[in-house]
Amino acid sequence: MTASGPRVATVLAVLVAGTTALAQSPSQGSGGAAGAPDTAHVERVAIRAAHLIDGKGGAPMPDAVVLIAGDRIERVGSRLPIPSGTRVIDLGGATLLPGLIDVHTHITGQAENYYADLFRRSPIDAAVRAHIYARRTLEAGFTTIRNVGAPEFVDVALRNAINDGEVEGPRMEVSGIPLSATGGHGDLNGFSPYIQFNQLSGIADGVDEIRKKVRFDIRQGADLIKVLAGGGVLSEEASVGGAQYSQEELNALVEEAHMWGKRVAAHAHGAEPIKRATRAGVNSIEHGGLIDAEGVQLMVQHGTYLVPDIYTDYYIVQQGRQLGYPDIIIDKEKELRKSQVVNWKRAIAAGVKLAFGTDAGVYPHGTNARQFALLVGDLGLTPMQVIQMATINAADLMGWSDRVGAIAPGLYADVVAVGGDPLKDITQLERVCFVMKGGVVVKENAAPACR
């Protein structure tokens, strides 16, 4: 196709629109008009509740008051005086927490049937449904997500629509299309070579192709780069633990992403891809279940985050048959489960940094918080540790500590509440009864537990 007049005009319009979206994205507002805030008309809100966990790890604050001006938190304290003219939201005996963060989501899709999902759904289906999943996620208390893989930049479009206030959903950091080696976890394996998807691809082999693909993702609006450094569960490639990129390739990928100011999330189950990705300088290892002692040491040395998505393991084993997964996938999951809890515990004991990420989309969106109980029960973490994984740690991994991850002055007024004490019963986080994002109440249950 040659460039005709109208097509050039369309491309220009798209370019202009893209520039506008980029210019607006740093504000990451809760929606509504962009531009300088009109301080004279900023709405002032006070939230009052019996307890507050601020995300920073200290003891819960009793009789908490959070003063909010516009979309930001202004002051936090116990029994703070509330200025006149302030709208008061009294949540009674509830416990306030920072808006939760899931650093590993696939918000544009949800597994229902493996082959139908692969062959009967198009990226347009993903685009049509994504906003529903975004809203469910937000209403579950997740006011921020890091999306690490979506087709056709549907994640970029969704992020922009949320930032523009057109769609309700969490704040989003997005990766665009993950990079994969030919024949790797992100490729279509085991089918006729004549079956090809006519859509954008993340396949890149060798240093030059990898650098180009990183630039391509960034040009299309990716906030970070996701690389499939090794095998995975939900594909028909054989090895779950194998390496799929060389050290040289991963070094180039990370160098390129960091040059453009973008962080890197590496999918890696196996010991070797974990070590290669960590040496290359990725910011997080996603999954990481087959990590060995050397890998643990490397992650501690490099300050690399680990994102142990333990809930999906339960879900895949329990629901795998109904979801139509072939034996090869279920067998890979069972293989992982033999050793990953032990391996994760070794990493935790050595002090590897942890962030909360769930692989949402493998299981239904909006039930992300079910992972908390497993992190406490199976990995031996404390409720405070897992709350911090989903607040201050997650924000640190994303580079968003200046905007989310704690209830503290200057940060966005992203606040959730639960009826009981999550430090005694972590499953309280599965029953979030109040959600505020950027000073706007998204969900408020009249349930007595939250009053």
Quick check: 280 and 247 in contact, CB under 8 A?
Answer: yes
At its nearest, how many Å lie between Zn ion and the CB of residue 146? 11
Alpha helices in 246-382 (DSSP H): 247-259, 271-280, 293-302, 310-319, 327-337, 340-349, 370-377
Report the alpha-carbon distance of residue 359 to residue 351 in Å, rounded.
23
For the purposes of burial, counting CB atoms within 10 Å of the CB of 408, is it exposed (0-12), middle (13-18) or buried (19 or more)? middle
Minimum gap (Å) between residue 111 Cβ and Zn ion: 11
Nearer to Zn ion, 307 or 381 (CB): 307
Work out how close the CB of 149 gets to Zn ion at its nearest, in angstroms, rounded to a whole number.
6
Beta carbon nearer to Zn ion, 141 or 149: 149
| Angle at the Cα of 357 from the Cα atoms of 237 and 445, rounded to 5 degrees | 130
- CB 336 to Zn ion: min, Å: 14
If the CB atoms of residues 74 and 359 are measured against Zn ion, the closer one turns out to be 359
100-105: strand order across its sheet: 100-105, 142-147, 171-174
Nearer CB in complex with Zn ion: 313/359: 359
Q: Tell me how far, at minimum, the Cβ of 178 lies from Zn ion, in Å.
A: 8
Of all residues in the shown chain, the one whose CB is closest to Zn ion is 359
Q: C-alpha angle 379/385/389, rounded to 5°?
A: 95
Residue placing its CB nearer to Zn ion in the complex, 268 or 426: 268
Residue 108 CB, nearest distance to Zn ion (Å)?
12
Query: Is the Cβ of residue 169 or residue 178 nearer to Zn ion in the bound state?
Result: 178
Q: How many CB atoms lie within 10 A of CB 30?
A: 22
User: Given the complex with Zn ion, which of 251 and 358 has the nearer CB atom?
Assistant: 358
Q: Which of 430, 393, 390 is nearest to 143 (CA)?
A: 390
Nearest approach, Cβ of 451 to Zn ion (angstroms)? 37
Burial 178-200 (b: 16+ CB within 10 A, else e): bbbbeebbbbbeeeeeeeeeeee
Sign of CA dihedral 204, 205, 208, 211: positive
Residue placing its CB nearer to Zn ion in the complex, 272 or 359: 359
For the bound state, the minimum distance from the C-beta of residue 103 to Zn ion, rounded and expressed in Å, comes to 11
d(CA 77, CA 64): 6
Write down the least CB distance from residue 118 to Zn ion, Å: 16
Nearest in space to 234 (alpha carbons), one of 302, 166, 317, 306: 317
- Residues at the contact surface with Zn ion, assessed by CB under 5 A: 359
Q: Around 243, how many Cα atoms within 13 Å sit in the side-chain half-sphere? A: 15
CA–CA dist 76, 407 (Å, integer): 7
The nearer residue to Zn ion, 288 or 419, going by C-beta atoms, is 288
* Nearest alpha-carbon partner for 356 in 341, 368, 343: 368
Query: In terms of CB distance, is 74 or 286 closer to Zn ion?
Result: 286
Determine the Cα–Cα distance for residues 92 and 48; give it in Å rounded to an integer: 7
| Token pair in block for residue 391 | 């607040």
Comparing CB distances to Zn ion, the nearer of 221 and 357 is 357
Across-strand partners of 67?
Answer: 46, 75
Beta carbons of 189 and 232 less than 8 angstroms apart = no
DSSP symbols for 119-175 = HT--HHHHHHHHHHHHHHHHHTTEEEEEE---GGGHHHHHHHHHHTTSS---EEEE-
Q: How far is the CB of 95 from Zn ion (least distance, A)?
A: 30
Q: Which is nearer to Zn ion, 54 or 359 (CB)?
A: 359
Cβ of residue 6: shortest distance to Zn ion, in angstroms? 39
Report the alpha-carbon distance of residue 116 to residue 59 in Å, rounded.
49
Residue carrying structure tokens 């404390």? 382
* Minimum distance, C-beta of residue 187 to Zn ion, in the bound complex (Å): 15
